[in-house]
């Protein structure tokens, strides 16, 4: 678990570094990445398109890489995907330096496809975990996410701040992210031990993501769980992708401020998934935990609309982080527990396809909505998470009814 944890940490550290950069990059008229005549709404729509391009490619990459790891092993596929991630960051950095948005889209799409390796990481954990250990071990990966998001956004915000170092630019975090990916390749080559017991000769198909969606939402045992996962991720994506715009416009945040705020959230997520979730997972099954974590997460989202000054945000964000930290690994554990051991990669690949599909539309919708009111994406986030909770209530009621003699 230690190597898997550190591999995930380095991967997510690279992702975290660029979080504070995208919104300021597109909204900064002084940078001239986009034509000067572009309005605020034009810029947010372009930002939404860039974010969606990542999810579009992740949609195809996650199921493909998950099945590929069942066939050739977790180590080889993880190594190849992180090599692709490093190349993607180099393309992104070059696009910023040269002022070529087309390179940003190319690099982001390559990164999106390679981000399908989350299915490989989760499969590796499932390979070495009992059903009772899955919530705890998936929570450890969530802690790696959290720690990566503590250090990553803080580093990214500082690395893009030319007031701190004169030669820092918006491209600097991407050069550093590429370096971290190269370091991760060395770690995988030297320390990662293959986890899969028996490889399965699965057919490989780039359109498997579309087939996965059909499977996810038509299978009688899977569809309700995947619908809950879809609604949760759909809603939370509004928050993760447009809270930066809200911070910039409402509280005059710059990239270093955004990085510090995300780092603060990451601390709470890491504490939750590295510590709080353990005693909870011992006492409650994943579905029971979701019954309260989803509804309180929706309430916390609405609470983000109340602050009149930025310091008040720091009172609300711990609740968002804690309930998100409880929800995410328990949804993954619920999905994993449905699958037998020989199809973990495939089922978790389907889950990643659902996740990528859920992340595809919110940036496009949010890019339009935020042009009307900067608070609308956050309100939308709360609404969809609440819908996930309502579907969960139906699932829980159905299971309780079936359990009665």
Q: What is the pLDDT of residues 81-112, one digit of tens each?
A: 999 999 999 999 999 999 999 999 999 999 98
pLDDT exceeds cutoff 90 at 43: yes
pLDDT at 343: 66
Q: For residue range 143-178, what is the model confidence (pLDDT) as tens digits? A: 777 677 778 889 999 999 888 889 999 999 999 999
Count the neighbouring beta carbons within 10 Å of the beta carbon of residue 109: 20
User: What was the pLDDT predicted at 349?
Assistant: 67
For the chain, domain boundaries:
2-403
Residue 235 above 70 pLDDT?
A: yes
CA distance linking residue 29 with residue 330, whole number of Å: 42
Going by C-alpha positions, the residue among 137, 150, 138, 159 that lies closest to residue 261 is 150
Instruction: Answer yes or no: is pLDDT of 405 > 60.
Output: no
Of residues 318 and 2, which shows the higher confidence score? Answer: 318
Mean pLDDT of 20-34: 90
- Residue 399 banded pLDDT, cuts 50, 70, 90: low
- 331: exposed, middle or buried (C-beta count within 10 Å: 0-12, 13-18, 19+)? buried
pLDDT tens digit sequence for 327-373 = 988 888 887 776 666 666 667 667 777 887 898 899 999 999 998 99
**pLDDT at site 1:** 58
CA separation (Å) from 220 to 217, 292, 338? 8, 24, 12
Q: Is 2.60.200.20 the CATH classification of the domain at 2-403?
A: no
């Amino acid at each position: 678990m230690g190597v898997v944890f550190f591999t995930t940490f380095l991967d997510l550290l690279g992702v975290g570094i660029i979080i504070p950069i995208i919104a300021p990059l597109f909204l900064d008229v002084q940078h001239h990445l986009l034509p000067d005549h572009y309005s605020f709404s034009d810029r947010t729509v372009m930002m939404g398109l860039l974010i969606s391009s990542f999810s579009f490619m992740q949609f195809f990459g996650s199921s493909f890489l998950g099945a590929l790891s069942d066939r050739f092993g977790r180590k080889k596929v993880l190594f190849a995907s992180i090599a692709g991630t490093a190349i993607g960051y180099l393309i992104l950095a070059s696009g910023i330096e040269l002022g070529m948005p087309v390179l940003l889209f190319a690099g982001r799409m390559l990164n999106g496809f390679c981000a399908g390796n989350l299915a490989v990481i989760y499969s590796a954990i499932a390979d070495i975990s009992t059903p009772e250990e899955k919530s705890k071990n998936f929570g450890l990966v969530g802690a790696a996410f959290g720690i990566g998001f503590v250090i990553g956004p803080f580093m990214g915000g500082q690395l893009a701040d030319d007031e701190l170092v004169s030669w820092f630019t918006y491209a600097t975090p991407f050069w550093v992210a590429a370096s971290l990916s190269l370091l991760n390749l060395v770690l995988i080559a030297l320390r990662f031990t293959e986890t899969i017991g028996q490889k399965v000769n699965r057919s490989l198909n780039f359109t498997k993501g579309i087939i996965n969606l059909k499977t996810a939402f038509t299978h009688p045992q899977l569809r309700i769980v995947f619908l809950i996962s879809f609604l949760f991720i759909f809603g939370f994506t509004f928050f993760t992708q447009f809270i930066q715009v809200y911070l910039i416009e409402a509280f005059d945040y710059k990239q270093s401020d955004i990085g510090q705020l995300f780092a603060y959230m990451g601390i709470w997520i890491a504490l939750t998934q590295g510590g709080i979730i353990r005693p909870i997972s011992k006492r409650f099954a994943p579905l029971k935990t979701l019954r309260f974590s989803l509804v309180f997460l929706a309430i916390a989202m609405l609470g983000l609309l109340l602050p009149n000054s930025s310091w008040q945000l720091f009172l609300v964000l711990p609740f968002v982080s804690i309930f998100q930290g409880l929800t995410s690994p328990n949804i993954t554990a619920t999905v994993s527990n449905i699958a037998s051991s020989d199809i973990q990669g495939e089922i978790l690949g389907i889950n990643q396809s659902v996740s990528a599909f859920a992340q595809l539309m919110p940036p496009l919708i949010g890019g339009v909505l935020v042009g009307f009111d900067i608070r609308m994406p956050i309100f939308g986030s709360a609404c969809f998470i609440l819908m996930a909770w309502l579907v969960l209530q139906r699932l829980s009621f159905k299971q309780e009814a079936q359990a009665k003699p």
